[in-house]
Structures are given as structure tokens and as C-alpha cells.
């Protein structure tokens, strides 16, 4: 009986050993399969770029606007970011005694509204109906506003519509009515405000802005020879800070172009030349075309490179210093991992896997960064010039999209 039990125990041990061996075998096979999978990549169409990040100073063609009565405070006629024609009124300064006149106008407005309601006067006009619609839209749009400047702008727009409506109502009222008399008094007071206030006009067409940092007349765009690293760094401009809104001055900005100056000391910057075309990636993620228009080379091999851009100019109005990515080049084609590229007498090649068999294919590297390369096939003539045998050329294969190649 004991011998029988011993035999059973021995059998269990043998079965357990075999089972463990099978598990190890399966795991080892799985690892080998995963290794083989990881050693193959598929060729696809793609792009590679070479880019570097730099701090960028924004230079604009800007005309400062400032009048004699800047201490009185201003009223924006043209809001922030809106384009204006030459000689158009941009903003005006409050006149002396304007607050008293405005209070009188507000009182008259209350009397005018009360007179209309008490008289039951019904004035039918398409213009008035349209103005009522505009007034309702502006009022509705103000409910969820938090930005002070936007609220001021909407308030000014609302007052403008109400003034137009009042004038039309007065014109359509009977000549001898009290309503017409009140509206005429209001118009007279409004005229006094206009007569006594200082209106500032645009000396040139462009975008209106009230964001002033007092660098408008320092960072000039007509000549960049004054730019150097010390000059720019001594400006102490905080990266990404928003230029504050000014209540005394405004400016007109050329919205067709602006300039971005970068201090950079890299290999790519050292070979850059005036006229080179690159791309810049803005903080918004937008990639825009740029042209190098100026380079200042300094003793420590730093370079101040100035790029001209014509897109997204208005997007940058509120900034003076941002971070940008300089995309020196971008190339599209057959994209493969650098670890798939081998060399034979300084000629690059890859090993294509097809149904378990590999063949050697020479490739021309068009562009390369730290991780990937863009490659293309050699022509037969190019291979002959490189000294490749006629036998290889006659039998050679070409790489194409979706081919599998080995990673080394």
C-alpha cells in the first residue's frame, strides 16, 4: 500500500514538473513573438520637423494718439481691435463741465420717456423698430459680462442706439408738442458736449488699440540695427504678460504685418540667412509663415534674428513678449525610424521583411531629426554612380508605403 502511495506522489510530482515546463515554454515563446513584433515597423507617409523654442519680442508699426485734454478722461468712439480709416474719429476726451451736461441729458431722457408713456403716443417707423431690436440684443448680451472694458463698450453702444431712437422720435413728433421741445433741448445739450470736447482722429488706417506699454516709440520697425541682446533684456518685459488698457492714450497699429525678434544661440541660428523662410508656432498653436529680415551677430555668438509675419497680427496685439517655436524646416515623404537605418560603405539601407524573408534596399535620406528620417528610393543611375553592382540593380526592390522593415 505504501509503495502504491509513493508511486502516486511521484506521478503528481512529474505531472507538476511537466506543467511548469509547459508554462515556461509558452511564456518564452510569447516573449520571442513580442520581440519579433517590436523589431518590425511599417513605412508610412509622414512629416518631420526641426524646431527650437525661443522668447520673442513683438515689434509693430504703431502710432500713438494723445491729445491736450488727456487728464479729463476719454470716451472710446472706436472700440479695441476694430479697424479704422484714415481721418476717422477714434476717441474723444471729456469736455470741461461735461458731467453736469450728462446729468441734465439723463434727466431729460426720463422726462421724454414719461411724456411718451403718458401721452400714449404711438410712432410707427421701420427705423425705430430696427433700433428697438438692436437695443434688445445689446441688453441681452450684457447679462453675463464680467470684463469691465467690454461692459463699457456695450454701454456706449446702447447709449448710441437710444440717442438715435430719441432723435427719430423727435423728428416724427408734432411740431408744437412738448415731446419735440424736450428732444430739442436734449439735442442742444448734446451739441454743447461735442463742441467742448477734444476729438482724436486716426492719422492713418489700421487697427485701434488702447493697450499702451510706452514701448511704441522705442521698439521701432523702420531700422533694426539698434537691436541687441542687452537692449532687449534691459526692457524687463515679462513673458506672456498682457499689455494693460490705458485711459489717456490710444494707438493705431498696422495690421498687415509685424515683426518678431528672438535672441538665439544654436547651430541652426548660426547658419540662418536674411531671406530664409521658416514657420513660427504661436502660443495658440497656430503655425504661420515667417521671413528673416534682419540678423545681428554678437561677440558671444548670440544672434538677434528678426522675423516678419503677415498672419495673426491682430492676435498678438495684447502682447509684447511671447514664447514661439521656430520651425526651421518641415519635410514630408516616406517616414521611418532612425533605428531602422543601417550603412554599407556610407550608403544608407534598410532591411525589408516580406513573408519572413528580408532583402536589402538602399535609400536616400532626404531629411533627418533625432528620431525619424524621410527617405526615398535611389534611381538606377544614382546607384551606378555610388558603385553598386549591376547584379543588385537588376534585382533590386523599391520601398513603398506599408512595407515592413526591421528595427535594429
- Render 33-50 in DSSP notation, one character per residue: HHHHHHTEEE-EEEEEEE
| Sign of the dihedral defined by the CA atoms of residues 365, 367, 369, 371, in that order | negative
Answer yes or no: are the C-beta atoms of 287 and 327 closer than 8 Å: yes
DSSP letters, 170-201, are HHHS-TT-HHHHHHHHHHHHHHHHHHHSEEEE
How does 126-146 read in b/e, with b if 16+ C-beta sit within 10 Å?
eeeeebeebbeebeeeeeeee
SS3 of residue 408 by DSSP:
coil
SS3 of residue 230 by DSSP:
helix
Q: How does pLDDT run across 150-196, given as a tens digit for each residue?
A: 666 666 666 666 666 666 665 555 545 676 677 776 776 666 555 55
The conformational region for residue 218 under phi > 0 = left, psi -120 to 50 = alpha, else beta, is alpha
Q: Which fold has domain 52-61+224-244+256-327?
A: Elongation Factor Tu (Ef-tu); domain 3 (2.40.30)
Which pairing describes strands 206-209 and 258-264: parallel, antiparallel, or unpaired?
unpaired
Answer yes or no: are the C-beta atoms of 57 and 349 closer than 8 Å: no
Classify residue 148 by burial, with Cβ atoms within 10 Å: 0-12, 13-18, 19+: exposed
- Give the residue from 161, 295, 273, 133 showing the smallest Cα distance to 224: 295
Task: Identify the pLDDT of residue 7.
Answer: 52
**CATH code of the domain made up of 41-48+333-406:** 2.40.420.20
SS3 of residue 252 by DSSP:
strand
Answer yes or no: are the C-beta atoms of 369 and 48 closer than 8 Å: yes
| Residue whose entry in the numeric block shows the C-alpha cell 526641426 | 50
Say how far apart CA 320 and CA 236 lie, in whole Å.
11
Q: How does pLDDT run across 240-269, given as a tens digit for each residue?
A: 999 999 999 999 999 999 999 999 999 999
Say how far apart CA 37 and CA 353 lie, in whole Å.
12
pTM above 0.75, yes or no: no
Say how far apart CA 114 and CA 269 lie, in whole Å.
72
Say how far apart CA 309 and CA 321 lie, in whole Å.
15
140: pLDDT strictly greater than 70: no
- Give the residue from 100, 101, 96 showing the smallest Cα distance to 71: 96
**Between 104 and 250, the higher pLDDT residue:** 250
**How many angstroms from the chain centroid is the CA of residue 205?**
24
The domain ranges of the chain are 2-38, 41-48+333-406, 52-61+224-244+256-327, 64-201
Average the pLDDT over each of 24-33, 204-213, 285-294 and give the range with the smallest value: 24-33
Q: In degrees, to the nearest 5, what angle opens at C-alpha 255 toward C-alphas 253 and 261?
A: 85
Average the pLDDT over each of 184-198, 254-268, 325-339, 361-375 and give the range with the smallest value: 184-198
Answer yes or no: are the C-beta atoms of 91 and 77 closer than 8 Å: yes
Q: How does pLDDT run across 219-245, given as a tens digit for each residue?
A: 999 999 999 999 999 999 999 999 999
C-alpha cell at 232: 532687449
**How many angstroms from the chain centroid is the CA of residue 351?**
42
Average the pLDDT over each of 107-111, 240-244, 256-260, 385-389 and give the range with the smallest value: 107-111
Task: Identify the pLDDT of residue 36.
Answer: 46
Say how far apart CA 286 and CA 325 lie, in whole Å.
10
Which pairing describes strands 74-76 and 89-93: parallel, antiparallel, or unpaired?
antiparallel
Average the pLDDT over each of 113-122, 307-316, 333-342, 392-401 and give the range with the smallest value: 113-122
Same-fold call for 41-48+333-406 versus 52-61+224-244+256-327: no
- Give the residue from 257, 269, 328 showing the smallest Cα distance to 296: 269
**Between 31 and 20, the higher pLDDT residue:** 20
What residues pair up with 41 in beta bridges, in sequence order? 405
Classify residue 389 by burial, with Cβ atoms within 10 Å: 0-12, 13-18, 19+: exposed
Amino acid at each position: 500500500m505504501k509503495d502504491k502511495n509513493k508511486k502516486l506522489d511521484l506521478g503528481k510530482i512529474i505531472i507538476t514538473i511537466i506543467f511548469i515546463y509547459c508554462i515556461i515554454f509558452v511564456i518564452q515563446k510569447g516573449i520571442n513573438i513580442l520581440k519579433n513584433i517590436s523589431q518590425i515597423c511599417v513605412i508610412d507617409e509622414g512629416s518631420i520637423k526641426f524646431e527650437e523654442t525661443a522668447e520673442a519680442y513683438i515689434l509693430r508699426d504703431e502710432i500713438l494718439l494723445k491729445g491736450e485734454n488727456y487728464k479729463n478722461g476719454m470716451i472710446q468712439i472706436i472700440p479695441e481691435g476694430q479697424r479704422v480709416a484714415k481721418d476717422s474719429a477714434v476717441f474723444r476726451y471729456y469736455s470741461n463741465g461735461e458731467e453736469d451736461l450728462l446729468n441734465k441729458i439723463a434727466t431729460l431722457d426720463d422726462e421724454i420717456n414719461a411724456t411718451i408713456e403718458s401721452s400714449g403716443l404711438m410712432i410707427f417707423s421701420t427705423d425705430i423698430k430696427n433700433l428697438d431690436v438692436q437695443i434688445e440684443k445689446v441688453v441681452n448680451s450684457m447679462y453675463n459680462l464680467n470684463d469691465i472694458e467690454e461692459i463699457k463698450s456695450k454701454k456706449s453702444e446702447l447709449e448710441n442706439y437710444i440717442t438715435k431712437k430719441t432723435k427719430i422720435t423727435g423728428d416724427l413728433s408734432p411740431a408744437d408738442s412738448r415731446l419735440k421741445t424736450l428732444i430739442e433741448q436734449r439735442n442742444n445739450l448734446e451739441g454743447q458736449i461735442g463742441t467742448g470736447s477734444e476729438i482724436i482722429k486716426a492719422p492713418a488706417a489700421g487697427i485701434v488699440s488702447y493697450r499702451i506699454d510706452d514701448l511704441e516709440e522705442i521698439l521701432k520697425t523702420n531700422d533694426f540695427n539698434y537691436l541687441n541682446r542687452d537692449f532687449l533684456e534691459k526692457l524687463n518685459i515679462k513673458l506672456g504678460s498682457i499689455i494693460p488698457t490705458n485711459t489717456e492714450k490710444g494707438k493705431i497699429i498696422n495690421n498687415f504685418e509685424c515683426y518678431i525678434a528672438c535672441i538665439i544661440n544654436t547651430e541652426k541660428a548660426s547658419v540662418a540667412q536674411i531671406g530664409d523662410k521658416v514657420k513660427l508656432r504661436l502660443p495658440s498653436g497656430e503655425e504661420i509663415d515667417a521671413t528673416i529680415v534682419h540678423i545681428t551677430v554678437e561677440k558671444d555668438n548670440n544672434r538677434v534674428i528678426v522675423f516678419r509675419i503677415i498672419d495673426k497680427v491682430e492676435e498678438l496685439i495684447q502682447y509684447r513678449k511671447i514664447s514661439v517655436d521656430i520651425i526651421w524646416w518641415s519635410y514630408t515623404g516616406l517616414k521611418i525610424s532612425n533605428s531602422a537605418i543601417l550603412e554599407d560603405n556610407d550608403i544608407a539601407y534598410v532591411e525589408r521583411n516580406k513573408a519572413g524573408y528580408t532583402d536589402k534596399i538602399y535609400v536616400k535620406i532626404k531629411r533627418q531629426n533625432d528620431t525619424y528620417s524621410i527617405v526615398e528610393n535611389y534611381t538606377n543611375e544614382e546607384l551606378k554612380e555610388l558603385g553598386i553592382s549591376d547584379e543588385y540593380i537588376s534585382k533590386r526592390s523599391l520601398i513603398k508605403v506599408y512595407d515592413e522593415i526591421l528595427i535594429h
